Copies of this chain bind each other. A is one copy, B any other.
Amino acid sequence: MTTAKRDTYTPETLLTVAVRVFNERGYDGTSMEHLSKAAGISKSSIYHHVSGKEELLRRAVSRALDGLFAILEESGATDGRTIERVEYVTRRTVEVLTTELPYVTLLLRVRGNTQTERWALERRREFDQRVSELLKAAVADGDLRADVDIRLATRLLFGMVNSLVEWYRPQPGGPAEAEQLADTVVQLAFEGMRVTR
């Protein structure tokens, strides 16, 4: 007779396991059975904590989205010259991405098959829209190039930033390394790679 491991999970630790499995197998490809095996507890124990895998998804992507939206309320994002606010938001987005890596990874892979996924996509678009508006204001200030389509620039900027989830893995270097990464992203996005003469 096999006995399930004693359930010492909290919704928080269960979330950690679920996010790992979602990222490995894809959300669609993950069953409650997979989650139960990965957590080492029975399905009914999981149902004791959450209503099902969609609730775990909602909690996980909420954590990523809360992290991102919180940036927009920080004084660096609300005060000062717009171009500085844009650069601040870009830098902080990279930082949130590195500290909340599995959660943001999951958010970026959401496809829109369920209500929670569609809600997450909607919130992501909202965040992009807020940043896009900042970029537009910085163009109006004369600080960002007026000859670039802002919608396209926003997409390319997030394309660069979000691509980090494909290869960035936290190192023992830790926060210092993440900060250097954020510096480089801001530098490349706003100053470009060419030497200014």
Chain A residues proximal to chain B, CB less than 8 Å: 26, 29, 83, 135, 142-145, 147-149, 152-153, 155-164, 166-167, 181, 184-185, 187-196
Contact = CB atoms under 8 A, between A and B. Distances in A.
B188 A194 contact: no
Given A143-B194, A144-B194, A167 B188 contact: no
Number of copies: 2
14 contacts: A26-B26, A83-B194, A144-B194, A145-B194, A145-B195, A148-B188, A152-B184, A153-B188, A156-B160, A156-B184, A156-B188, A159-B161, A192-B192, A192-B193
Contacts of A194: 83, 143-145, 190-191
A179 B94 CA distance: 29
A122 to B, nearest CB: 16
A189 B188 contact: yes
Q: For chain A, what secondary structure do more than half of its interface residues adopt (helix, strand, loop), or is it mixed? A: helix
A130 to B, nearest CB: 17
B193 A144 contact: yes
Shortest Cβ-Cβ A-B pairs, 9 listed: A159-B163, A192-B192, A160-B160, A191-B192, A190-B194, A159-B160, A190-B192, A144-B193, A190-B193
Contacts of A149: 184
Given A29-B29, A190-B193, A196-B196, 5 more contacts: A145-B194, A148-B188, A149-B184, A157-B188, A160-B163
